[in-house]
Structure 1
Amino acid sequence: MSQYSITPPRAKFELHAYGEVYDFSLKSIENWKQLEFTLKRDRTSGIFHQISFPFEFALEAYDVVKNIYETYRHRSQGDMYIYLLKNDWPWVEEQYHEPQIFNLDFISYSKTDNIIKVDTKRVSLYDYLKVKNKMVYDIPVSELKAEKTWNFERIMMANTISLRAANSSGFNFKSSGIYNKTVGISYESTEVAVKDIVYERTIASLADFNSDSHFLEVNDKLENPVEITFIINLTEIMAYIDPSHHASIRRARLILSTNYDTSDPWSISAPHKDITPGLDTTSWITTEKFMAYRGNRFYLILALDLKNDQEPFPKIVAIKANGTIRVEYNAKYKPVSVDMIDPKVLLQSMVDRMTNSTGIYTSDIEDFNTDSNNLIMLSAAESIRGIPVTADNEAKVHTSYRDFVTWMNAYGYEQHVDGTHLNIRKRHKGFRADLTAMELGERECADLREYVDEERLYPGLKIGYNRKEIDNVNGRFEFNGIHDYVTDLNIIDKVLELISPYRADCYGIEFLTQERGKDSTDNKSDKDLFLVNVKEAASTYETVTSVFSGNYPGSSTIFNGNLNPYNLMKINEDLLGVSAARMEFTASDSNAQIIIDGQRIDQNYDIPEGSGLFDPTIYDIASRNIQHLPSGENVNGIVRFRYKGQVYEGFIEEISKNPAWEMETTWRLYKKK
């Protein structure tokens, strides 16, 4: 094309309505010079396209829009097409870029003598996400769940039963010999996480030993030994001793047995001890371990070696036996199947609901769950609790798009919108030094201001997961809570929060599963959504386990170790590295002393040099650019500009273009590291 061709308008406006196309001159769009096309980030998110509104119609456009409205009133429809002249015209065949299309919202119609104002409908995917991100949706799990379920093999839990022995009793005996008596035992307290496996019984008082005088019964086999610690004190009461005869008790021993037969090999006998009546107390303090099987009964027996020095006449012996018994055992419930949800399926379901459409807008989570042996799936609390499915009720996911993105942010992902497609991507993919977004000449830039971006300086970090306190001793083992860190920045108190609203506490899942089959229709955790680290098997999802070091009853059954807050902190080193070089652990609301796969999760961390997304510096320039704004993947690349002979490079924070080339716009760029 000849370079001497007549220059066409810098922008072209068309109205498409009811099968007609109306070409409008620039003068008929009263405010065309105020229209700005903007590329903008939400902090470190992907870049969104925006445009200023409304349209102001004059001259011939005034008449066209007026006629449409008077014909169809508030039901009027129409689309504005805006074409921008290519900056390299006339050296290319096509004069204009592809049009940007906006739906007119005639409900906003406003007419004066010379101007008609009509706003545009916010119907882009970005607009839907922005307006409806806080809206909570109740989505039936049946619409989301994967074909396979999770085979949850349960967590081994610590259980404790505390009992008390307290007896003062006398009885007659005729002959010298061994007399077996069961100690009176009363219930004191329990901290039982796995019920219906071990039962405690109360024994009213000192009595003859018989098959029903057990204080503990096992209803199912335990994988690990039962540990029983007892402190029993025995005293013969002097008041019952005949002054003319010797004491009745010569020796005594304590027998702990899992069988009615005291000679059974599973019996444990404390040593024989000589008894000095009334002068002191004889005590047994010991801890014993037993393997326990279904049907086992535990007996605590006092074997008294009694002497009657007035035979054949009966004699009275009186004793006081007291002390404590502590029973500790580990147990777990039987496996259950739990519905799983692919996060990508949930994301698309929310996009469909926010846009009130199906198939028009699409979504994806890029580079997520690519390893079938290391997947992160979701499960609704109501699925874990086993809410029964009825005609009126079933398990639901209760969540919002905002919560979903907040979780993804904690995992180092950000949202990107390109037309009708939403892509959740790793954060660093929004800052690509290998791409060029734009190069501005010196005449396109003015008034450079360079300053520190305080919004990107964080002396503190909170990272991890929201969770609920568990009122059980096992709750103290939970490690997936919130960690607190300080950085090497000695500045004002500002804390970056990367806290997932979706939970990852494995003990929370375990205790919620224990609610299955109960009549309760509500639970304080029912609206929660849980993350579960699983691997794909032939017909199920199986739990991914880690190696946990330390004194944990279920170390081989604990899961979600890979999701711990320390790992999350490292995942976000590209964001933290913008301004910090070192993370120092200060506190946690969960068990931070645990060691997972050989790694302490309460340690400090040095951020690798150069890992930050950008430098915490803003380039603020006035631009009168004549170029079209970048599009596609290039928006994530470098903007390079010259100012007073020096070259600067940065990433887009916000840039704009005005169709009227003489109009300046303000640009903000993150300085490239």
Structure 2
Amino acid sequence: MLCKYVLTVDSISYDIPKSCIQNWDEIKFSRKRSGLEGITRTFTSKFQFVGEAYDLILEEYLSKYLASNASITVYTITNSHTYEEFFSCRLDFGSLTYDGNTVSINSIDDSVANIIKANKGTQYEYSVDEIKDVYQLYYDSVSMNYSQPHTLGGNTVENDASLQYIVIDKGIYVEAITYSLPLYISGGELPSRDSPLEFYDAPQESKDDPNVFVKALSDIDIVLNFSFEYYISYSDAYTTKAEIVLGGRYEDGRLVELKRWGYNKGDVTPSNLNESIKIHLTKGQALFFDLKVTFNRVNASTGNIYFRNFKFETRFTSRANPIYVDAIRPIDVLNRLLKSMNGGNEGIYGEIASGVDERLDNCVILAAESIRGIPQAKLYTSYTKFKNWMETVFGFVPVINGVTVFFKHRDKLFSDNNVKDLNSSFSSFEYKVDSSRIYSLVRVGYDKQDYESMNGRDEFRFTTEYTTGIDITDNVLELISPYRADVYGIEFLSQKRGQDTTDSESDNDVFFVCASTTLHDNGGVQTYKEYRLIRSGWEISGVLDPETMFNTMYWQGGILQANAGYIGMFTKKLSYSSSDGNSDVVVNGIGMKDDFNVESGIITCGDVSFTTYNEDIPPTDDETIKILKDDLVYEGYIKEVSSTVERNEGVKYDLFVRSITKA
């Protein structure tokens, strides 16, 4: 390959002969993939200058020290006998060495790929106010189950923890007396915001207005679950009857009896209550339990009512009121990351393919601090986290084209278009299996979160493991998203709004939801001035409330489908092994525990290498390379292709093999 070299020093260009570059025969250029992504370029990292070039570079260094500025550009001749730029790079004066004859200096790869490589792991902090979309997310929550237990406020009995008693101290001469059954709040789980119920302790008192244990703040259906035995003390000669009364109190003070249970002195066995009572309360209504005791004559004696194994709780389902959360488009996060990695400068631009996956087209990102409602909320992320999220959840990988970083689906990089047929014009053929692309286990989903809630057991967007049926390796494929899609994680953060709580690790997390300003409903289209959660189109069962569940489309099955071509590289079937979360979910008729079958892979686990004396390096990323060897046709894609610029040694190919067929 005939080349021309131009050395630029302090903005002045000098054509230099090949003899001024001592290591001219080592100058290499290659195009290679990092994994199954787009192709990037690499070239020689060190130049050794002699002669005129030695003098120019040394003079620049001695006059300007570390402010020196120089670059080298390599041109190759075309078929029309003109020169075109092959590659260009700046020279790193921080690596300069010289011995009187030769100046050695490293090149600086300031390509977009190298800028990303150097900064991809850096975590940046962004003000949500600066990158948020004009539309907010209308977050209308998810229904959750709650319970409030009450304990009985009776006296305990020594050596019998299951037995309690209530002292009936008449104090005056009466034929009957009514007490509020002594109930006291004990633990439980209630909404942190917008609770439809208010619970109280109900002390044992005798008065016309009973002590209520719960009051409705809005219309609500509840279930009272209680079980216990009770009876009158055998030594009580005057108490003849003890009744438990469940009653309601209207907002205007009116009382109503809902149900009554009784025990008569002399009954052979204690009265055994085991009830589950459904009640609809309207706003302002309250409930109480009374204990009514009847005597066989007017007296003022003291008696005891005994209770054994007392259990009582109020259960209900509630959905918090809607709130607004700042939303960020993925493309805006990508472009801000590219700007940050470029030293805060414009010049590198991001694009994301649309119309491929509606789950991505309708995706918005939420900062944990925004969900909590923290003022001046921040988003914390890195390019690596963004890229891994795109690759895991959607199967999208970056392709660098000039100054543009374009995320597209991986399958689009491995099509059967643009076939380059090299026939048998090659040497040094070798085929080998790349064992690093063979996996015995696939872990898919999201990192498990620990919730302080019984509702957390309903969450299924954690990590699920599948076996591949391969036993020749112990490699594990990790398809784990660094961004979170767990609905209950979002809900629990939203319930912390307005609370003066300390910061937690989850405040730095990044969430995403499927939402749109345009929703299709009952054959029509409704447009909003805010993002609305998308629930239609994804039927789900096996969860507490399918109607309010969202982010169903980001379940493990969706991730597997997005990466099916990659998985098909090493197996045709995944078999369920285990899950960190709720594994009983079924989405659009497909269960979490079902086998996942793959029709084909984008490539195989085989690689083929060879050298051809055609010095043209394929210019496109998705070109299929075809060769013929021993009556077998090998088709594949570039893994790496390289050449030594000034040596006529041809081009060395390493290909991902897609198929091997008989000629």
Fold shared, TM-score > 0.5 on shorter chain? yes
Structure 1 position 330 matched with structure 2 position 317:
yes
Distance 1:396 1:56, change over 3 A: same
The Cα of 1:73 is off from its aligned counterpart by 3.0
AA aligned to 1:238 is Y
* 1: CA distance, partners of 2:166 / 2:57: 102
| 8 Å Cα contact 1:40-1:652 kept in structure 2 | yes
* 1: CA distance, partners of 2:472 / 2:196: 56
* 1: CA distance, partners of 2:505 / 2:582: 22
User: Which residue of structure 2 lines up, in the alignment, with residue 470 of structure 1?
Assistant: 451
* 2: CA distance, partners of 1:517 / 1:263: 33
Among candidates 338, 342, 352, match of residue 355 of structure 1 = 342
The runs of at least 4 consecutive aligned structure 1 residues that moved more than 6 Å come to: 260-266
The Cα of 1:649 is off from its aligned counterpart by 2.2
| 8 Å Cα contact 1:446-1:643 kept in structure 2 | no
TM-score (norm 2): 0.89
| 8 Å Cα contact 1:210-1:260 kept in structure 2 | no
Among candidates 390, 397, 400, match of residue 408 of structure 1 = 390
Distance 1:78 1:441, change over 3 A: farther
* 1: CA distance, partners of 2:177 / 2:449: 53
1:309-348 to 2 correspondences below 5 Å: 318-321=304-307, 323-348=310-335
User: Which residue of structure 1 lines up, in the alignment, with residue 31 of structure 2?
Assistant: 39
Structure 1 position 625 matched with structure 2 position 613:
yes
Distance 1:115 1:362, change over 3 A: same
| 8 Å Cα contact 1:459-1:495 kept in structure 2 | yes
Structure 1 position 127 matched with structure 2 position 114:
yes
* 1: CA distance, partners of 2:486 / 2:250: 43
Q: Deviations over 1:91-142 (max 9, x none)?
A: xx24333342211222322222221122222311100111111111011111
* 2: CA distance, partners of 1:493 / 1:40: 27
The Cα of 1:321 is off from its aligned counterpart by 4.0
| 8 Å Cα contact 2:418-2:622 kept in structure 1 | yes
1:416-495 to 2 correspondences below 5 Å: 416-436=399-419, 438-440=420-422, 442-443=424-425, 445-495=426-476
| 8 Å Cα contact 1:485-1:585 kept in structure 2 | yes
Equivalenced residue count is 633
AA aligned to 1:405 is K
Q: Secondary structure at the match of 1:98?
A: strand
User: Which residue of structure 2 lines up, in the alignment, with residue 515 of structure 1?
Assistant: 496
AA aligned to 2:362 is L
Q: Secondary structure at the match of 1:635?
A: coil
* 1: CA distance, partners of 2:656 / 2:248: 73
Q: Deviations over 1:18-47 (max 9, x none)?
A: 443211112221112111111111111111
Distance 1:274 1:355, change over 3 A: closer
User: Which residue of structure 2 lines up, in the alignment, with residue 639 of structure 1?
Assistant: 625
Among candidates 506, 529, 547, match of residue 556 of structure 1 = 547
User: Which residue of structure 2 lines up, in the alignment, with residue 268 of structure 1?
Assistant: 258
Among candidates 211, 216, 230, match of residue 214 of structure 2 = 216
* 1: CA distance, partners of 2:395 / 2:577: 22
Q: Secondary structure at the match of 1:539?
A: strand
AA aligned to 2:403 is T
Q: Secondary structure at the match of 1:143?
A: helix
Structure 1 position 84 matched with structure 2 position 76:
yes
* 1: CA distance, partners of 2:457 / 2:510: 21
User: Which residue of structure 2 lines up, in the alignment, with residue 96 of structure 1?
Assistant: 83
AA aligned to 2:108 is K
| 8 Å Cα contact 1:150-1:540 kept in structure 2 | yes
Q: Secondary structure at the match of 1:346?
A: helix
User: Which residue of structure 2 lines up, in the alignment, with residue 594 of structure 1?
Assistant: 585
Distance 1:520 1:220, change over 3 A: same
* 2: CA distance, partners of 1:31 / 1:516: 65
| 8 Å Cα contact 1:164-1:185 kept in structure 2 | yes
Among candidates 286, 295, 300, match of residue 297 of structure 1 = 286
| 8 Å Cα contact 1:270-1:284 kept in structure 2 | no
* 1: CA distance, partners of 2:75 / 2:496: 61
Structure 1 position 148 matched with structure 2 position 144:
no
Distance 1:476 1:41, change over 3 A: same
Structure 1 position 73 matched with structure 2 position 104:
no
* 2: CA distance, partners of 1:625 / 1:543: 57
* 2: CA distance, partners of 1:59 / 1:378: 57
User: Which residue of structure 1 lines up, in the alignment, with residue 522 of structure 2?
Assistant: none
Distance 1:342 1:413, change over 3 A: same
* 2: CA distance, partners of 1:374 / 1:156: 26
* 2: CA distance, partners of 1:617 / 1:515: 52
* 2: CA distance, partners of 1:543 / 1:266: 42
Q: Alpha carbon RMSD of aligned pairs, Å? A: 2.6
Among candidates 554, 567, 574, match of residue 576 of structure 1 = 567
Q: Secondary structure at the match of 1:233?
A: strand
Which consecutive residues of structure 1, in runs of 5 or more, have no partner in the other structure? 1-8, 242-246, 389-393
| 8 Å Cα contact 2:418-2:623 kept in structure 1 | yes
User: Which residue of structure 2 lines up, in the alignment, with residue 399 of structure 1?
Assistant: 381
* 2: CA distance, partners of 1:265 / 1:584: 60
Q: Secondary structure at the match of 1:240?
A: coil
User: Which residue of structure 1 lines up, in the alignment, with residue 231 of structure 2?
Assistant: 235
The Cα of 1:422 is off from its aligned counterpart by 0.8
1:173-212 to 2 correspondences below 5 Å: 176=175, 179-194=177-192, 196-205=195-204, 207-212=205-210
The Cα of 1:653 is off from its aligned counterpart by 0.7
Q: Secondary structure at the match of 2:45?
A: coil
| 8 Å Cα contact 1:369-1:376 kept in structure 2 | no
Residues 499-508 or 19-28, more deviating: 19-28
User: Which residue of structure 2 lines up, in the alignment, with residue 612 of structure 1?
Assistant: 601
Distance 1:307 1:262, change over 3 A: farther
Distance 1:528 1:460, change over 3 A: same
The Cα of 1:294 is off from its aligned counterpart by 2.6
Distance 1:382 1:37, change over 3 A: same
Q: Deviations over 1:192-248 (max 9, x none)?
A: 24455433322333x4253241122233333xx11001224331212220xxxxx64
The Cα of 1:598 is off from its aligned counterpart by 3.7
Greater share of residues in strand: 2
AA aligned to 1:412 is G
* 2: CA distance, partners of 1:471 / 1:372: 30
AA aligned to 2:19 is K
Q: Secondary structure at the match of 1:208?
A: coil
Q: Secondary structure at the match of 2:133?
A: strand
Distance 1:572 1:551, change over 3 A: closer
Distance 1:353 1:315, change over 3 A: closer
The Cα of 1:347 is off from its aligned counterpart by 0.6
* 2: CA distance, partners of 1:453 / 1:576: 15
Residues 333-342 or 72-81, more deviating: 72-81
* 1: CA distance, partners of 2:337 / 2:489: 26
Distance 1:101 1:377, change over 3 A: same
Q: Deviations over 1:240-268 (max 9, x none)?
A: 20xxxxx6425x54322221799989742
User: Which residue of structure 2 lines up, in the alignment, with residue 161 of structure 1?
Assistant: 148
| 8 Å Cα contact 1:193-1:472 kept in structure 2 | no
| 8 Å Cα contact 1:160-1:191 kept in structure 2 | yes
The Cα of 1:346 is off from its aligned counterpart by 0.5
User: Which residue of structure 2 lines up, in the alignment, with residue 244 of structure 1?
Assistant: none
AA aligned to 2:166 is S
Structure 1 position 249 matched with structure 2 position 237:
no
Residues 420-429 or 13-22, more deviating: 13-22
Q: Deviations over 1:251-304 (max 9, x none)?
A: x54322221799989742145x45143753112221111112332221112344
